[in-house]
Chains A and B, each alone.
Chain A
Amino acid sequence: MSGTVSPPEDGLFGRFEILTAQRQLRVDGQPVALGSRAFDLLAVLVARRDRVVPKEELIGLVWPGLVVEDNNLQVQISALRKVLGTQAIATVPGRGYQFTVAAAAAAAAAAVGAVQAARAPERSVGAAPRPARLLVADDNKVNRLLLCRSLELMGHEVASADNGHTALGKLRGERFDLLLLDLEMPELDGFALLEQRAADAALHAVPVIVTSSLEGVAQVARCIELGADDYLHKPVNPVLLKARVDSSLERKRLRDRQAELLARHAPDLPDTGQAAGALPESRRATATLLCARLGQVDTLPAHDTLELLSRWITLMFDAVEGQGGLVSQIGGDTLVAAFGAHRPAGGDAGAPGAALQAAREMGELVGLFNAERSAAGSPALVLSVGIASGEVVAGQAGTPRRSAYVCVGTAVQHAAQLEALATQRGGGVLVDAATQEALSGHAAAHALVPVALPSRSMVMQAYALGPH
């Protein structure tokens, strides 16, 4: 490791442009204010974008010769994510970070898609729809050419197929945002393709607009029953075509965004598809639950509150995922995470040790947060954390259209109560006896101090982390 940051390569990555000489990042052509460390960090990540970069390597390159805690790195990662979007820098638990935006030219479309998906909530209603990748399936050459032309003029990238088999092959082998499907086709007609799509959860991700000159309501009804999103009669009215395409793409964008959030909540769970796929089976496991709450947030102005919570949640995700945990719930100023329920927790002390380390990192991050706020004359925020271990049932729950990763069990309730007790004590970290016992023999146990609990407490015994 050289200990110095090599100059970043000038380059265009989706909507982002790095200008070496000016040490400047531009987004959509506009310069963005970025601290010197954050720019160095970006340069390192971009130069090594073909792999996951370990935290130690990043720290060594960005803070050469200095002893720096992980949380400094996390703060800079958080700052970059605010500018680039959450997905631009992936956290790989236990390994490090990776820059995920593809370089321009051939991969530009994919990069724009990924980054825009990450920034999706900022997109205002009525904004120009972004280009998408569309597939037109129609055996009639005149209709196929005209449809492709119309969609290309809307700014989309369009591929075509002249029968259902070819279309199905393309759908299974390439990424598409929308299929425009004719019904009357040789070999495999539109109805048969819709039936195959209905039986294949992976294909549900691609919405379908049927375009046909078949007459009769029955045909339309059958298409809708088979899962088509919309139906357009030929000859297709160009205004209607644009409206239906934009609408279908917008719905897909929202579904993708939902899936992305779900994946962030439970990244190791099997993909359930976009619509009617079966939910993964639940699992009974011994796990450690962490419940965290950021206090004093409600005293801030509304805009500041949401901005602060977004930043806090990003940092807390890093602290949890960095220790191999999964965030199972975000409730405004609270967050619940599970360690050891669906994937091995990091470190020698297993799930309890990982949860305790995550809580420690959360505390350090909030400390840095408060240092910034103090310099700006803002009141300090208070972090309260409860940790409890025990048997839980964990898995995906909800309806096929809307589900979430959840944990159920006494440990969940105990963690929540310990968090409430910690809040009453003015913040800090409280763990239950099961967690403390699990840590006996490990260094982390030495930092746990018994605390007196209210007589009516559901948790019988608790320990505080550190000298609080």
Chain B
Amino acid sequence: MNDTVIDPHTFDELQATAGADFVVELVDTFAAEAPTLLAELHAARAAGAAERFRRAAHALKSNASTFGASRMAALARALELGGLPADATAVDTLAREFETTLAALQALARQ
């Protein structure tokens, strides 16, 4: 599963350059920060705040890319570039992908 959710080459390189212990901390930070950003997506969409929505999607895309979570990054990028969606479906999809991504990252980081 991990190979499809997380790009192993990117993750290995991250561990090699930043240190495995540090990557554990970084994953923990991602776990703490991402839910806030997902909540911001929901709130911005409900408020019709396109720029807030774009910024939150941009931040999630950036973080996902850092870990090699290319599927999550692609979903976030679609939100960033697509403007305010008509409903919350795409945000919910991203939130589910985040849960999958986080589980994969935590498993990889603690190997």
Contact = CB atoms under 8 A, between A and B. Distances in A.
Interface of A: 139-143, 145-146, 149-150, 153, 184, 213-215, 234-235, 238
B82 to A, nearest CB: 13
Interface residues of B, number: 21
Contacts of B22: 149
B26 A145 contact: yes
B13 interface: yes
A150 B66 CA distance: 13
A142 B66 contact: yes
A184 to B, nearest CB: 6
A140 B13 contact: no
Given A184-B55, A184-B58, A214-B58, A142 B25 contact: no
A160 to B, nearest CB: 13
Given A146-B18, A234-B65, 5 more contacts: A142-B66, A143-B66, A145-B29, A153-B18, A235-B65
B107 to A, nearest CB: 18
Contacts of B14: 146
B46 interface: no
Contacts of A143: 62-63, 66
B66 A235 contact: yes
A140 B18 contact: no
B17 interface: yes
Given A142-B29, A145-B25, A145-B26, A213 B65 contact: yes
Interface of B: 10, 13-14, 17-19, 22, 25-26, 29-30, 33, 55, 58-59, 61-63, 65-66, 81
Contact of B26 (A139, A142, A153): A142
A153 B15 CA distance: 13
Nearest to B22: A149
Contact of B59 (A150, A184, A215, A238): A184
A145 B62 CA distance: 13
A234 B17 contact: no
- Nearest 8 A/B pairs, CB to CB: A238-B17, A213-B62, A235-B66, A142-B63, A235-B65, A149-B18, A142-B30, A140-B59
A238 B61 CA distance: 19
A317 B81 CA distance: 62
A234 B58 CA distance: 11
A139 B36 CA distance: 13
A143 B17 CA distance: 14
A142 B13 CA distance: 16
A234 B62 contact: yes
Nearest to B58: A184
B33 A141 contact: yes
A215 B13 CA distance: 23
Contacts of B30: 142
B20 to A, nearest CB: 12
Contact of A146 (B10, B26, B81): B26
A139 B58 CA distance: 12
18 contacts: A140-B33, A140-B62, A142-B33, A142-B63, A145-B29, A146-B14, A146-B18, A149-B19, A150-B17, A150-B18, A184-B55, A184-B58, A215-B81, A234-B65, A235-B10, A235-B65, A235-B66, A238-B17
